[in-house]
Structure 1
C-alpha cells in the first residue's frame, strides 16, 4: 500500500502547497523525498516508550488563517506571551500561516536576517540550502521524514560574523482546530564571533486530534554564542514531537533552556554536537507530568573536539498517573581529549500512581577525559516540610514552595520576561 493512501495528504497536495508558496524546486524535491521516506521508515525507537498508537499522521497539514495588522489583534493566547506595547522582533504562526511579523530597522541594519522560513526559501534560497537538513537528516526516522514533507512554517535566523544581537528575538506558534498541524522548521546560523538569543513559545486553542512536529537546527560558528529558550504549553489534544540539534565550532557556545509544560503526550530530543576545540554546551530543562500523559525527553551531547565541555540539568515533577522518561546521554568520542561532560536528572514524585525514570548514560571512547552523572527519583523531604510548617506555612503551601524552588533555577534563566511569567503560570496551572 502506498503512503498516499494511508495519509490525509499526498504528493499532489504537497506540490500544490509548495508551488502556491513559490518555493524553489530543490525544496519541493526534499518534500517529496520526505513523503516517500515516511512510507518506508519506522518511528524512532525510544527508551521505555511506545508511540505506535500515538497520532503521527492523522492531520490536515496546510490549514491557513488570516493575518493581522497589529499585535493587539492577535489571539489572547499569543498576547499572553509578548509585550504587546513594545513589539520589535516577533514572528507569529498559527497552523500553516504566518499571521504577524515585525522586524526592527536596527536589526536589519546589522545585517541580521530574521524572517519566516517561507520567505527565506524565496529570498535567501542559496543560504538556506547550504545549511538546511545537514545536522538533522530528513530520513533519520518516520517523524523527520514527515516533517520534511509537510513543513508549514518556521523561522530563518542568520547572524553575520562579529555581530552581537543584544535583544532576544521571539516567535510564537499557535495551533487550533480539528486535525490541525503545526510543523515549523527553525534554522539558526550564527557566524564566527556572533551572539544571539532566540525564544519561542507553543500554545494551543480548541481542537481535536492535533499534531505538532517541529525541527530546530542550529549552527554555531567559531567563537559564536547562541541561546535558545523554548516553552511548550500545548493541550491534551496535541501530540507533540520536537527534535532540536546544534553543531558547535571552535570556542563556540550553545545554551538550551527548555520548559516542557504540555498536557498531552510528548517526545523531545535535544542534541548538541561539539565539533570544535573548546566548544561548550549547556542544557537546562524542566517538565511537569499530569493526568495520564506520557513524556519521553532526551538531552544528549556528543563530544568530538578536544577540551570540550558540557553540562546538562533535567528536572521533572510527576503527578496523577503521568509517566516521564528522562534520558541524559553524554557521548565522548575517541580523540576528544580533555573533554568534560556532566549531567544530572532529578525527578520529584507527587503521586503513588505516577512514574518517573531518570536514565543517565555515559558513552566514553577516550581515556583522558572527565565525566560524571547524577540521578534521583524521590518524594518531598519531610524535614524540609516540617521546617517550613514550623514557620507558619501550611503543608500545601510548603509543598508548593519546595516544588517551585526545585524548578526555579531553570525558570529564572528564561530571557524574555513575558515568557518567564507564562512559564510560571503554566507551572501554577499544572500543579493545581
Structure 2
C-alpha cells in the first residue's frame, strides 16, 4: 500500500510529474510549486486558525478504474448522475479521470472536453497560456500545494461563436481517504460563446481515521462577449476538508454567473472571485451554505473591477445550526479608472441555535469616484412573524420553519441549470437541516 504524503518539496513534485510522463515545462512548473510549498505560509482567513487543521495529509496517487461507458461506472458515482446525462460528461474518481463523454455534434464544432492531464499534452498552447494564471502558485501555501500535486482535472474549451445548449457535467468523486484528491477545472470560453458548466463534488469515505484534503481550484476565462454559467455543489464527508478557490477573468462585454452550494459536512475554506478586466463585463455570484455540528467555515466572494461600465452582484446566504461557525466575507474592489462601475453585495446569515455563529462582513474598497456601490448584511434568527403567519394557516411550527429556510435558500437552488441536480440539492438540504 502506498503511504500518504505528509511533506514534500521540489524534488518530490518533479518526480510526481515525471511519473505521469508530463512535458518538461510542466515538470518545471510542478517543481517550482513544490519549492514554494516549503516556503509560503498558509492563508489567514479571519477568525479561522488553519494551523489547527490537518492540512499536511496530501494523500497518495490512487487512480480510478477507467470505464468504457456510463453504465459501467461504480454505483456510488452512478447515483450522482442526473437524468440529463446524455450530453457532455466527465468524471474523476479519486486521483484520475475515468470517463469522458462528448457528443459528436460538439466535437464537430471544435469543443474540447478532456482531463486536464491530457490537455497538457494535446492542447499545450491553450493550457500553458491559461493554467494557474488566474489562481497563481505563489498566492499562499495551499495554492502552491495544489499547483504541485493537482491530478485528473477538467479542461473545457468552447470555440468562438459556439453556443452549447445543454449543461456540461463534471462529477469529482472520492471514496479513498488516503488518495490525493486535488482536481483543477479550467474553462476557456472563446469570443461570443455560451456554456453552462455543472460541477458536482462528493465523497463516500465511510468510517476512517484519515483526513481527506480536497484542495481544488477552478479557473474560468470568458473572452469578449462570452457567457459562462458555472454551477457547483459540494457535499463531502465530515472527515474531509474542503478547500476550493474559484477564479474568473472577464474580457470586454463578457459575463460569469457563479451558482454555488457549499454544502460540505466538515471544515471548509472557499473563495470565489471575479476579475472584471474588460469594459462592460458583468459578474453575478449566488452562494449558499448550511453549517451544522462543530463545522468551521470561511466563505469569501469577491469582485474586482478594472474595466469601465462593469457590474457585479453578490448574494451569499448561510444557515447555521448547533455549534457551527461561518465567516462570510463579501469584497467589492473598484480600481482607479473603472468609471461607471456598479458593485452590489448582500450577505445574510440565519442562525437556528444559540450556540451557532455567523459573521457577515461586507467590504467595499473604492478607488474611483464615478461609480455605484452598495452592500447589505444581516445576521438573525427565523422571523417570528413569518412563523406565526404560517401557523395561523394550520401549518406546524417545524414545517413553518422548514418552509422559511428553504425560501431563504431558494435564490440559489432555483438557479441550478439541471433539474436532476436541483432535486439532489433539495435532498442534501433536507439532510443537513433535518
TM over 0.5: yes
Q: Where does residue 138 of structure 2 map in the other structure?
A: 139
Could you say which residue in structure 2 is the equivalent of 1:204? 203
Shift of 1:235: 0.8
CA apart distance, 1:16: 4.2
Instruction: For residue 10 of structure 1, report the CA deviation from its aligned partner.
Output: 5.5
* 1:9-158 alignment runs, 5 A limit: 9=8, 11=10, 13-83=12-82, 86-158=85-157
Aligned length: 428
2:191–2:223 contact (8 Å) kept in structure 1: yes
What is the CA-CA distance between 1:86 and the residue it aligns to?
A: 4.4
In the aligned structure 2, how far is the partner of 1:44 from the partner of 1:78? Answer: 32
Q: Partner of 1:409 in structure 2?
A: 411
Within 1, Cα distance between the matches of 2:325 and 2:111?
Answer: 42
Between stretches 206-215 and 334-343, larger displacement belongs to 206-215
Q: 2:310 maps to which residue?
A: 308
Q: Alpha-carbon deviation of 1:87?
A: 3.0
1:169 maps to 2:173: no
- Matches for 1:181-260 after TM superposition, within 5 Å: 181-206=180-205, 207=208, 208-260=210-262
In 2, the alpha carbon distance for the partners of 1:382 and 1:126 equals 58
Give me the whole-angstrom Cα distance separating, in 2, the residues matched to 1:393 and 1:431: 18
Counterpart secondary structure, 1:182 = coil
- Shift in alpha-carbon separation, 1:76–1:399, aligned structure 2, 3 A: farther
Q: How far apart are 1:68 and its partner, in Å?
A: 2.3
Deviation at 1:69, TM superposition (A): 2.6
Give the CA RMSD over aligned residues.
Answer: 1.6
Distance 1:195 1:31 in 2: 32
* Distance (whole Å) between structure 2 residues aligned to residue 88 and residue 22 of structure 1: 31
- Tell me the distance in 1 between the aligned counterparts of 2:374 and 2:9: 48
Partners of 2:187 and 2:5 in 1: CA distance: 33
Using the alignment, how far apart are the partners of 1:364 and 1:85 within structure 2? Answer: 43
Shift in Å, 1:199: 0.7
CA distance in 2, matches of 1:112, 1:164: 10
Question: Which one of 261, 264, 287 corresponds to residue 263 of structure 2?
Answer: 261
Unaligned runs of 5+ in 1: none
Q: How much has 1:180 moved relative to structure 2?
A: 2.4
Q: Which residue of 1 aligns with 2:354?
A: 352
- Secondary structure in structure 2 of the residue aligned to 1:270: strand
Give the corresponding residue for 2:383. 381
> SS state of the match for residue 407, structure 1?
helix
Segments of structure 2 that go 5 or more residues without pairing to the other structure are none
Q: Corresponding residue for 1:318? A: 320
> 1:72 & 1:148 partners in 2: Cα distance?
33
Displacement of 1:53 in angstroms is: 1.3
Give the superposition deviation at 1:12.
5.2
Q: Post-superposition shift, 1:45? A: 1.6
Residues of 2 paired with 1:41 and 1:150: CA distance?
A: 16
Moved more, 280-289 or 96-105: 96-105
Change (3 A) 1:177 1:396: same
Q: CA deviation at 1:310?
A: 0.4
Larger mean CA deviation between 64-73 and 373-382 belongs to: 64-73
Tell me the residue number matched to 1:363.
Answer: 365
The 3-state SS of whatever aligns with 1:226 is strand
1:390-422 residue CA offsets vs partner (Å, 9 max, x unmatched)? 111110000000000100111010011222111
Structure 2 equivalent of residue 400 of structure 1: 402
**Farther off after superposition, 21-30 or 143-152:** 21-30
Deviation (angstroms), 1:173: 0.7
| SS of 1:313 mapped into structure 2 | strand
Could you tell me how far apart the structure 1 residues matched to 2:11 and 2:102 are?
Answer: 34
Partner Cα distance (2:158, 2:114) in 1: 12
Residue by residue, what CA displacement relative to the aligned partner does 1:33-81 show, whole Å, maximum 9, x if unpaired? 1110000000012122111111222132411221223223323332233
| Range that drifts further, 139-148 or 182-191 | 182-191
Greater shift in the superposed pair: 128-137 or 315-324: 128-137
Shift of 1:181: 2.6
Distance (Å, rounded) in 2 between the aligned partners of 1:128 and 1:227: 21
Checking the alignment, whether the CA contact within 8 Å between 2:92 and 2:152 is kept in structure 1 is: yes
User: Where do 4+ consecutive residues of structure 1 move more than 4 Å?
Assistant: 8-13
Distance 1:117 1:414 in 2: 25
Q: TM-score, normalised by structure 1?
A: 0.96
* Match 2:301 to one of 287, 294, 299: 299
Q: What is the SS of the residue equivalent to 1:18?
A: helix
Distance (Å, rounded) in 1 between the aligned partners of 2:163 and 2:177: 42
Shift of residue 13, structure 1, vs aligned partner: 4.8
Bigger Cα displacement from structure 2, 326-335 vs 413-422 = 413-422
Pairwise CA distance, 1:144: 0.4
CA distance in 2, matches of 1:385, 1:85: 37
The TM-score with structure 2 as length reference comes to 0.96
- Deviation, 1:317, is 0.2
